[in-house]
């Protein structure tokens, strides 16, 4: 939210410069000047709004806009003496008008965003996205259990338990964030089943030394990506392969790297980009632009990198 506000207001400032500046030479000068005038009051106003955020969020649109406008003007005039010290003397009247316009644009932008992604639609999408499991995996797992049930009944028992746990997780409504530790458990259950089928072909390395297990993440964020890694990186090759999952905390951010070998010779399993699109969309629903997901190849391995903010409590 904060980042988006800054982006919107700054885009407006840039527009102002572009509309006003007639000479290219003045362009840079204008940008610097307007940035100096805008950023400081903007940050100040954002901080104040943040303090009152719970109250403002409960208000209806018009009233909220009015309150935010008042806060912004208030902050603006408090900043005036400071700006004068830096030899910037904006015309207070023009300046207030500009600020009000900026408030208006920002509020309308957020209002439009909120209505475009109302909770009902968003939740429907989250639910629809969750209704997925590869039938191939399901039937092969059952067949795997049947295969060891006579020779190793204990192993068959564990596998069925894992299958039950996995299905429980897959059938949750999944509207709420879950602790990272739980998500990792789901992945372990899943990998247990894959190990039954694939045996020594599958090895997995978890690197979780600097990983806060109590941070909250979208449910089924890791499992489908690990499933992809098995499906594209391990299954098509007769050689053993390694999947590496590294989760580290970097400041206020959680960084997740999942890598798998790229199969050069084997016939590639027919892929669908469903899982990735799904996760990207849910990351956006939960964290907006504070989270991101990238994928690509590095040193002969396929890499998925997710970045998301650390969250210690379960809120949307």
Partner 1 sequence: MNPLNVIIVDDEAPARERLRDLLGDIASTQPTRVVGMAANGLEALRLFEETKPDLMFVDIRMPGMDGIELAQHLSRLAPPPQVIFATAYDQYAVTAFDLHAIDYLLKPVRAQRLEAALARARASKPVARDVLDGFAEPRRHFASSERGRITLVPISEVLYLKAELKYVTARTAEREHLLDESLVHLEQEFPDRFIRIHRNCLVARAAIAGFERDEVAEQWNVRLGSVVERLPVSRRQWPAVRAAVLNVELPD
Q: Which is it for the CA torsion 163, 164, 165, 171, positive or negative?
A: positive
Minimum distance of partner 1 from residue 224's CB (angstroms): 18
Chain length of the chain: 316
Among 21, 104, 147, 309, binds partner 1 (CB under 8 A): 147
DSSP tag of 52: T
Please choose, out of 65-73, 84-92, 148-156, 168-176, the segment that lies near partner 1 by the rule CB under 8 A: 148-156
Two tokens, residue 243: 């999947």
**7/146 with CB nearer partner 1:** 146
Please choose, out of 49-57, 139-147, 202-210, 282-290, the segment that lies near partner 1 by the rule CB under 8 A: 139-147
Minimum distance of partner 1 from residue 223's CB (angstroms): 19
Q: Which is it for the CA torsion 56, 61, 67, 71, positive or negative?
A: positive
Do residues 115 and 103 lie in contact, with contact meaning Cβ atoms separated by under 8 Å?
no
CB burial string 38-66: b at 16+ within 10 A, e below: bebbbebbbebbeeeeeebeeeeeeebbe
Residue holding tokens 């969750």? 130
Question: CA-to-CA distance for 28 and 34, rounded, in angstroms?
Answer: 10
**12/137 with CB nearer partner 1:** 137
Minimum distance of partner 1 from residue 261's CB (angstroms): 12
User: Following DSSP, what letter does each residue of 233-264 receive, concatenated?
Assistant: IITT-SS-EEEEEEEEEETTEEEEEEEEE--S
Minimum distance of partner 1 from residue 172's CB (angstroms): 24
Among 23, 62, 94, 150, binds partner 1 (CB under 8 A): 150
Among 89, 139, 164, 250, binds partner 1 (CB under 8 A): 139
Among 236, 248, 280, 307, binds partner 1 (CB under 8 A): 236
**67/148 with CB nearer partner 1:** 148
Two tokens, residue 133: 């499991």
Count of residues engaged in binding partner 1, rule: CB under 8 A: 26
Please choose, out of 161-169, 172-180, 231-239, 254-262, the segment that lies near partner 1 by the rule CB under 8 A: 231-239
Please report whether residue 268 would count as binding partner 1 according to CB under 8 A. no
Please report whether residue 274 would count as binding partner 1 according to CB under 8 A. no
Q: Where do runs of H (alpha helix) occur along the chain? A: 2-20, 24-51, 53-58, 61-85, 92-116, 119-130, 135-148, 153-171, 180-198, 223-229, 274-287
Among 65, 130, 140, 228, binds partner 1 (CB under 8 A): 140
Nearest alpha carbon to residue 130 among 165, 170, 169: 170
Among 196, 217, 225, 285, binds partner 1 (CB under 8 A): 196
Minimum distance of partner 1 from residue 272's CB (angstroms): 13
**81/135 with CB nearer partner 1:** 135
Please report whether residue 57 would count as binding partner 1 according to CB under 8 A. no
Among 198, 204, 225, 285, binds partner 1 (CB under 8 A): 198
Contacting partner 1 within 244-263 (CB under 8 A): 263
Phi, psi of 272 (to 5 degrees): -125, 145
Please report whether residue 145 would count as binding partner 1 according to CB under 8 A. yes
Question: CA-to-CA distance for 2 and 308, rounded, in angstroms?
Answer: 15
Please report whether residue 104 would count as binding partner 1 according to CB under 8 A. no
Residues that bind partner 1 in the complex, under the rule CB under 8 A: 135-136, 138-140, 142-148, 150-151, 196-199, 235-238, 263, 265-267
């Amino acid at each position: 939210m904060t980042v988006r506000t800054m982006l919107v207001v700054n885009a407006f400032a840039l527009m102002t410069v572009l509309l006003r500046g007639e000479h290219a030479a003045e362009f840079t000068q204008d940008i610097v000047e307007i940035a100096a005038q805008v950023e400081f009051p903007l940050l100040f106003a954002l901080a104040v709004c943040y303090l009152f955020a719970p109250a403002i969020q409960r208000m209806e649109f018009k009233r909220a806009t009015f309150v935010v406008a008042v806060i912004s003007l208030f902050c603006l005039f408090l900043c005036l003496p400071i700006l004068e010290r830096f030899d910037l003397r904006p015309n207070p009247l023009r300046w207030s008008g500009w600020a009000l316009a900026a408030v208006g644009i920002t509020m309308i932008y957020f209002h439009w965003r909120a209505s475009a992604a109302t909770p009902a639609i968003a939740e429907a999408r989250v639910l629809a996205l969750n209704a997925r499991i590869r039938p191939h995996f399901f039937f092969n797992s059952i067949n795997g259990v049947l295969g060891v049930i006579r020779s190793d009944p204990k192993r068959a028992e564990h596998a069925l338990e894992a299958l039950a746990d996995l299905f429980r997780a897959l059938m949750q409504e999944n509207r709420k964030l879950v602790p990272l530790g739980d998500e990792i458990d789901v992945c372990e259950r899943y990998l247990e089943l894959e190990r039954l089928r694939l045996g020594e072909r599958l090895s997995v390395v978890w690197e979780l030394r600097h990983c806060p297990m109590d941070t909250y993440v979208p449910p089924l964020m890791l499992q489908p990506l690990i499933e992809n890694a098995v499906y594209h990186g391990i299954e098509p090759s007769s050689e053993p392969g390694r999947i590496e999952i590294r989760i580290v905390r970097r400041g206020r951010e959680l960084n997740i790297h999942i890598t798998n070998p790229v199969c050069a010779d084997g016939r590639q399993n027919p892929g669908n980009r469903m899982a990735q699109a799904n996760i990207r969309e849910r990351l956006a629903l939960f964290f907006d632009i504070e989270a991101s997901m990238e994928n690509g190849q590095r040193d002969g391995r396929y890499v998925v990198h997710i970045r998301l903010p650390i969250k210690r409590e379960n809120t949307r």
